């Protein structure tokens, strides 16, 4: 059992599965420990979060991160709460971070070709992360580890959803955190562009840039200087809007396929084309982005006499598991919305008598809060759009219903197209 306060001592057992060996690092958002998985015997990194009182938010975030699958993104294995603390279990990155490489250069940058290779690989990771509606918020050399297969992006301890317009002020590392993130808590893809540009500056020159610095950067190619200055623009609107654009400006070509597995899934259903099912996945992803949610799904009513709901499209946490699941008529919150044709926001679905907890448990994802809207075509219910768990930890409320209905209308439009 973990102690309530203080450091975790070597030999401390967590979750009945992990044994702490020693501390790796410590920061404002928590400490990272080297641990061993008792079952597999493999080494792991365990992050203890200091703000674990916000358990629902951390649980939602950890589920989202655990679903990420990309060779340049650290793998998340597990998450759990214990004795008032909250823990995320990650792969133990094999290699040294880029900050350690820079220290060996004693204030000088890396060779330009090597530095740009690292920036390009970091851009691959961030492109994938942004596609999954996540902002890293702490891009810097110490969070980029050189492994046997190239760079790996680590430490998602301050990551936030793409749709979150303002968060905690003062989060991030001076010299690398974007001005708007540090001063106002605002985090967008251009915020991570700033972190990557500042990292490129450090890799090429030996140190991060000064805020608002507009002079040509001495000692590097003019093209690289221009790209970095644009990426480090004080106003996020003046930066490249994606990491791919910034990488291209530096001359770092990203591969045609980033190598990650999308968090969306689609499945054919009677009367629904494969193209329509994939469009519904895009709607689910859009819904998750609009609400800053962990997941969203679309279920359609079968044309059989039972009129059961079948999940045909999903994005986010649990997407793989929910696809193909069927709900009997009137079962669960989605079944109730399909029966009544009335949109609903459920602040605490776990305490709602309509909630089909057994169905949720069978997918491995039991949400805290939901907003649901029927898919209405010519006055007839065709299915249900469900959005699960806001990643800021707040519940869904009635003011969310209008947006849910608009997204449901978009799903219906997808069904009506050939």
pLDDT for the residue numbered 83: 78
Mean pLDDT of all residues in 311-320: 86
pLDDT of residue 1 exceeding 70, the answer is: no
Mean pLDDT of all residues in 276-301: 89
Q: Tell me the per-residue pLDDT of 117-127, one tens digit each, with 9 for 90 and over.
A: 999 999 999 99
**Cα 101–chain centre separation:** 28
State which of 170-179, 191-200, 274-283, 320-329 shows the largest mean pLDDT.
191-200
pLDDT for the residue numbered 28: 56
Same domain, 270 and 406: yes
Q: Average pLDDT of the chain? A: 86
Same domain, 409 and 368: yes
How many helices and strands in the chain, by DSSP H and E?
Answer: 12, 18
pLDDT for the residue numbered 259: 60
**CATH number of the domain where residue 222 is located:** 1.10.510.10
Q: Which of 22, 51, 78, 138 is catalytic?
A: 138
pLDDT for the residue numbered 3: 42
Q: Are 10 and 23 in contact (CB under 8 A)?
A: no
Same domain, 101 and 230: yes
Q: Tell me the per-residue pLDDT of 375-418, one tens digit each, with 9 for 90 and over.
A: 998 889 999 999 999 877 789 999 999 999 999 999 999 887 76
Three-state DSSP at 277 gives helix
Same domain, 241 and 336: no
Same domain, 40 and 139: no
pLDDT of residue 260 exceeding 60, the answer is: yes
pLDDT of residue 173 exceeding 50, the answer is: yes
pLDDT for the residue numbered 170: 54
Q: Are 140 and 133 in contact (CB under 8 A)?
A: no
Helix or strand holding residue 150 (H, E): strand 150-153
375/260: higher pLDDT: 375
**CATH number of the domain where residue 30 is located:** 3.30.200.20
Residue 256 lies in a domain: no
Same domain, 139 and 177: yes
Domain boundary among the residues 91, 116, 132 is at 91
CB atoms within 10 A of CB 100: 13
391/321: higher pLDDT: 321
Distance between the two ends of the chain, CA-based, in angstroms?
Answer: 57
Residue 106 lies in a domain: yes
pLDDT of residue 171 exceeding 80, the answer is: no
Residue 158: band (very low, low, confident or very high) from pLDDT cuts 50, 70, 90: confident
- Facing residues of 46 across strands? 33, 89
How many domains does the chain fold into? 3
Judge residue 401's burial from the number of C-beta atoms within 10 Å of its C-beta, 0-12 exposed, 13-18 middle, 19 or more buried.
middle
**Which of 103, 107, 46 minimizes the C-alpha distance to 80?**
46
Q: Are 17 and 37 in contact (CB under 8 A)?
A: yes
Q: Are 60 and 393 in contact (CB under 8 A)?
A: yes
Alpha helices in 132-221 (DSSP H): 179-184, 189-205
Domain boundary among the residues 91, 108, 138 is at 91
Return the beta strands (E) in 228-354 as ranges. 264-266, 293-301, 309-316, 326-327, 344-346
Q: Are 402 and 313 in contact (CB under 8 A)?
A: no
Same domain, 293 and 239: no
pLDDT for the residue numbered 29: 60
pLDDT for the residue numbered 207: 93
pTM over 0.75: no
Same domain, 312 and 399: yes
Residue 318 lies in a domain: yes
pLDDT of residue 285 exceeding 70, the answer is: yes
pLDDT for the residue numbered 256: 64
Residue 49 lies in a domain: yes
The two structure tokens encoding residue 399? 């003011």
Residue 1 lies in a domain: no
Three-state DSSP at 175 gives coil
Domain boundary among the residues 91, 120, 135 is at 91
* Structural domain that includes position 28: 13-91
Three-state DSSP at 5 gives coil
Residue 4: band (very low, low, confident or very high) from pLDDT cuts 50, 70, 90: very low
Judge residue 268's burial from the number of C-beta atoms within 10 Å of its C-beta, 0-12 exposed, 13-18 middle, 19 or more buried.
exposed
Residue 391 lies in a domain: yes
Measured at the CA of 99, the angle between CA 97 and CA 104, to 5 degrees, comes to: 105
Residue 6 lies in a domain: no
Please report how the helices 189-205 and 222-231 are oriented relative to each other, as an axis angle in degrees rounded to 10.
Answer: 140
Mean pLDDT of all residues in 274-297: 88
State which of 103-107, 257-261, 341-345 shows the largest mean pLDDT.
341-345
Same domain, 235 and 120: yes
Same domain, 42 and 155: no
What DSSP designation does 141 have? Answer: G
In whole angstroms, give the CA distance from residue 76 to residue 313. 24
- Facing residues of 386 across strands? 297, 372
Same domain, 87 and 167: no
Q: What is the percent of the chain with per-residue pLDDT over 70, rounded to a whole number?
A: 88
**CATH number of the domain where residue 349 is located:** 3.30.450.40
Return the beta strands (E) in 28-131 as ranges. 30-37, 43-49, 76-82, 85-91, 96-97
User: What Rg do the C-alpha atoms of the chain give, in angstroms?
Assistant: 23
In whole angstroms, give the CA distance from residue 12 to residue 22. 10
pLDDT for the residue numbered 2: 45
Torsion of CA 328, 329, 331, 337, to 10 degrees: 140
Q: Tell me the per-residue pLDDT of 195-221, one tens digit each, with 9 for 90 and over.
A: 999 999 999 999 999 887 778 888 889
Same domain, 133 and 198: yes
Residue 216 lies in a domain: yes
Is-catalytic flag, 138?
yes
State which of 55-59, 135-139, 408-412 shows the largest mean pLDDT.
408-412
- Cα separation values, 256 from 29, 124, 127, 269, Å: 35, 10, 12, 30
């Amino acid at each position: 059992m973990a102690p309530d306060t203080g450091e975790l001592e070597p030999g401390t057992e967590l979750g009945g599965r992990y044994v702490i060996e020693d501390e790796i690092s410590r920061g404002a958002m928590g400490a990272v420990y080297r641990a061993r998985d008792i079952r597999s015997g493999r080494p792991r990194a365990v992050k203890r979060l200091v703000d674990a009182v916000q358990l629902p938010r951390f649980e939602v975030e950890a589920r989202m991160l655990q679903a990420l699958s990309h060779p340049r993104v650290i793998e998340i294995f597990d998450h759990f709460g214990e004795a008032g603390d909250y823990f995320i279990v990650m792969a133990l990155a094999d290699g040294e971070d880029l900050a350690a490489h820079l220290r060996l250069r004693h204030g000088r940058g890396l060779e330009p070709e090597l530095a740009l290779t690292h920036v390009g690989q970091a851009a691959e990771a961030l492109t994938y992360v942004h596609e999954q509606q996540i902002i890293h918020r702490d891009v810097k050399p110490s969070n980029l580890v050189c492994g046997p297969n190239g760079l790996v992006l680590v430490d998602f301890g301050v990551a936030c959803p793409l749709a979150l317009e303002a968060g905690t002020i003062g989060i991030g590392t001076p010299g690398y955190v974007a001005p708007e993130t540090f001063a106002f808590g605002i985090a967008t893809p251009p915020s991570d562009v700033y972190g990557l540009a500042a990292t490129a500056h450090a890799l090429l020159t030996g140190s991060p840039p000064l805020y608002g610095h507009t002079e040509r950067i001495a000692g590097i190619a003019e093209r690289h200087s221009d790209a970095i200055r644009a990426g480090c623009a004080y106003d996020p609107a003046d930066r490249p809007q994606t990491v791919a654009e910034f990488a291209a400006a530096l001359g770092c070509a990203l591969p045609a396929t980033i190598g990650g597995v999308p968090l969306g899934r689609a499945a054919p259903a009677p009367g629904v084309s494969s193209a329509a099912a994939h469009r519904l996945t895009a709607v689910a992803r859009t819904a998750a982005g609009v609400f800053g949610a962990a997941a969203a799904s679309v279920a359609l009513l079968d044309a059989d006499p039972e009129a059961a709901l079948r999940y045909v499209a999903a994005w986010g946490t649990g997407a793989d598991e929910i696809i193909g699941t069927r709900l009997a008529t009137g079962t669960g919150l989605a079944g109730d919305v399909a029966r009544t044709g009335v949109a609903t926001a459920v602040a605490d679905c776990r305490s709602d008598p309509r909630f089909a907890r057994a169905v949720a448990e069978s997918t491995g994802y039991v949400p805290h809060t939901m907003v649901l809207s029927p898919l209405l075509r010519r006055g007839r219910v065709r299915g249900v759009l469900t959005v699960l768990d806001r990643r800021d930890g707040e519940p869904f409320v009635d003011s969310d219903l209008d947006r849910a209905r608009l997204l449901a209308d978009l799903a219906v439009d997808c069904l009506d197209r050939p």
